C-alpha cells in the first residue's frame, strides 16, 4: 500500500539484501551454527528490503547458512505466504 500510494508498482523490481551474524546463548539448544568468516557461533538474521527501506522478507537461520541461501529461504517463505 505504501508503494501504490506513491505511484509505484505494488511489487518491487529491486531488492536489497543483508545479513547479520549474532552470538547465541546456550539456551538456544541445537539451533546455532558457526560463521567462519566472522568467527561467530550463533544464528544469522537475513532481511530483504525494497529501495524505500521497507521490509520485504525476513528469516533467521543458523550462522553457517550463507547470505544468499538465507535470503532465498526468506523470499521463498514470503512468496508462499502471499500466494
* Mean pLDDT confidence for 30-52: 85
What's the chain's length in residues?
Answer: 83
pLDDT of residue 28: 58
In angstroms, rounded to a whole number, what is the distance separating the alpha carbons of residues 80 and 43?
A: 23
pLDDT tens digit sequence for 58-80: 888 888 898 888 888 877 765 56
Q: What is the domain partition of the chain in residue ranges?
A: 2-82
pLDDT averaged over every residue in the chain: 80
**pLDDT interval class at 30 (50, 70, 90):** low
Structure confidence by residue, pLDDT tens digits, 46-61: 888 888 888 888 888 8
The whole model's pTM is what?
A: 0.71
Instruction: Provide φ and ψ at 77, rounded to 5°.
Output: -60, -40
Amino acid at each position: 500500500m505504501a508503494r501504490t500510494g506513491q505511484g509505484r508498482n505494488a511489487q518491487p523490481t529491486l531488492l536489497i539484501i543483508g545479513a547479520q551474524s549474532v552470538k547465541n546463548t546456550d539456551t538456544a539448544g541445537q539451533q546455532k551454527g558457526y560463521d567462519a568468516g566472522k568467527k561467530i557461533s550463533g544464528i544469522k538474521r537475513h532481511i530483504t528490503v525494497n529501495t524505500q527501506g521497507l521490509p520485504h522478507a525476513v528469516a533467521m537461520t543458523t550462522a553457517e547458512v550463507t547470505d544468499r541461501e538465507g535470503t532465498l529461504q526468506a523470499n521463498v517463505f514470503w512468496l508462499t505466504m502471499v500466494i
